[in-house]
Amino acid sequence: MRYSTVVTGVFLLLGFTSVFGEESDATKLLKARSEQLRPQITRVSESVYCATGYSPANISMIVGQDGVAIVDTGMFPKHAEAVLDEFRKIADLPVAGIILTHGHGDHTGGTSVFVEAGGKQSKPRIYGREPFNTEGVAFRAAGITINRLRGARQGGFLLPPEKRINNGIAPAVYPPKDQNVFAGGSVTPTERFSEGRKKIEVAGLKLELVAAPGETSDQLYVWFPAERVVFTGDNFYRSWPNLYPIRGTGYRDVRKWIHSLDMMLAEKPIHAVPGHTLPLIGEEETTEVLTNYRDAIEYVFNATIAGVNKGLAPNELVHQVKLPPELASKDYLREFYGNVEWGVRAIFSGTMGWFDGNPTHLFSLPPAEEAKRIASLAGGVKQLATRARQALDEGDAQWCAQLCDHLIALDPKARDPKLLKAVALEILADQLLTATGRNYYLTVAQELRRDASQ
């Protein structure tokens, strides 16, 4: 396949421009997904309402006798305010309690709005798991700050609107430039629990908060037994899960994630409210989807471990571990947000560490030294650059990007390899369904173009 970015044999080296013809299947699928991500209120059961599309994360309301309980609060106060206005049209009652399924900023950023909606008598209690926001706390304790840049790349926060479609499980939004939403906010639950299950009562509603580590170790799910509704947090949403986010994080324990889904299924829910995307309505759909979701994660985990035990390295495993067709074809298991390959790599490193078993990799050459030797094998730097351009012309954008990495390592100030790699990354982005990966590709391509122009 030849791309229209490659013209007249010179690859527009004086200023690459992304020019694509017909949209890729991945782009079409991601655009179609936007319909599910528009702002809407879903009545899940008699007392439960879920607001999707107003914020990256869902905000839910359970209507009680003389107040309401809120599950998660969205990313920003303005999102929470918009949802609160809609909720008040349904039940104009004070907020009696707020439950945060975990500490991620997209689920906690609107908390202050709902606290203020608690009425004049008393502020609502805020419930969370102890320790709360484990991921953000770990980043700060280690002194890690690069997650802010990598998170912005993954989220597409540095891209212009025309380069963003959506974030796979959420509409595209832009946080303030000085805010690191991936480190969690300053929200502190007033009521924390560390046991496996805690029963609470809010506005006459009897709810159960259940420890459910998965996407985060502080994750909980909310069980509303009276109407058999489970609020899954981010352990379920309509996409292959983010077993590993490319912004970076510690290992997300996949076995615990599977067990948490087992516990939710054991409740025998009629409805399920995910952390993102539309709720599951009805016992048949809820049971089928949560079961398939759980089975898909377990399949990838078991297949990865089986490959590990055969001595396969990550670069081999990712080409062998694939979801079975009967699962891969389910829309709620498509790679809109997470990616199976990234999950396989995370399972390997989370269970085995960084060493892939090949002694050659115990002490690898520095990138610049390896690049020098690769260039020598190619017949010199000019010939290596020619091979990179040929790879793009032949439709192999991945190989082009890898060869460009060698060229950039040899001369970090060189303009042409940066521009060539930018085009390769844009082509790769167009072919990728996973929104976080697309955003990352396009953001780095944008950075390369900027660096090349300086």
pLDDT digits (tens, 9 = 90+) for 160-192: 999 999 999 999 999 877 666 766 667 899 999
The CA-atom distances, in angstroms, between 161 and each of 27, 260, 320, 432 are: 15, 37, 36, 18
Find the mean pLDDT for residues 120-128. Answer: 87
pLDDT of residue 7: 34
Q: How far, in Å, CA of 312 to CA of 348, rounded?
A: 10
pLDDT of residue 5: 40
2 pLDDT tier (thresholds 50, 70, 90)? very low
Q: How far, in Å, CA of 395 to CA of 380, rounded?
A: 23
CA angle (171, 172, 177) in 5-degree steps: 140
Terminal CA-CA length for the chain = 32
Of the listed ranges 17-21, 105-109, 111-115, the least confidently predicted one is 17-21
According to CATH, the topology of domain 297-359 is 1.25.40
pLDDT of residue 82: 98
pLDDT digits (tens, 9 = 90+) for 394-440: 999 999 999 999 999 999 999 999 999 999 999 999 999 999 999 99
- The pLDDT > 70 percentage for the chain reads 93
Domain ranges of the chain: 1-37+365-454, 38-287, 297-359
The secondary element (H helix, E strand) that includes residue 155 is helix 146-155
Beta bridge pairs of residue 69: 62, 97
Q: How far, in Å, CA of 299 to CA of 301, rounded?
A: 5
Whether the pLDDT of residue 193 is over 80: the answer is: yes
Spell out where 212-355 has E strands.
220-224, 229-233, 271-274
Find the mean pLDDT for residues 144-155. Answer: 94
Find the mean pLDDT for residues 346-374. Answer: 97
Whether the pLDDT of residue 11 is over 60: the answer is: no
Find the mean pLDDT for residues 364-380. Answer: 97
pLDDT digits (tens, 9 = 90+) for 289-319: 999 999 999 999 999 999 999 999 999 999 9
In the block, tokens 């790349």 appear at 153
pLDDT of residue 99: 98
Of the listed ranges 69-78, 137-146, 200-209, 440-449, the least confidently predicted one is 137-146
Mean pLDDT (the chain) is 93
- Coil, helix or strand at residue 272: strand
Find the mean pLDDT for residues 117-121. Answer: 76
According to CATH, the topology of domain 1-37+365-454 is 1.25.40
Evaluate whether 1-37+365-454 and 38-287 have a shared fold: no
Q: How far, in Å, CA of 308 to CA of 317, rounded?
A: 8
Which position has the higher pLDDT, 176 or 46?
Answer: 46
Q: 38-287 belongs to which homologous superfamily? A: Metallo-beta-lactamase domain (3.60.15.30)
Whether the pLDDT of residue 61 is over 90: the answer is: yes
Residue 360 is given by DSSP the state: G
Residue 22 is given by DSSP the state: S
pLDDT digits (tens, 9 = 90+) for 204-255: 999 999 999 999 999 999 999 999 999 999 999 999 999 999 999 999 999 9
pTM of the entire structure?
0.94
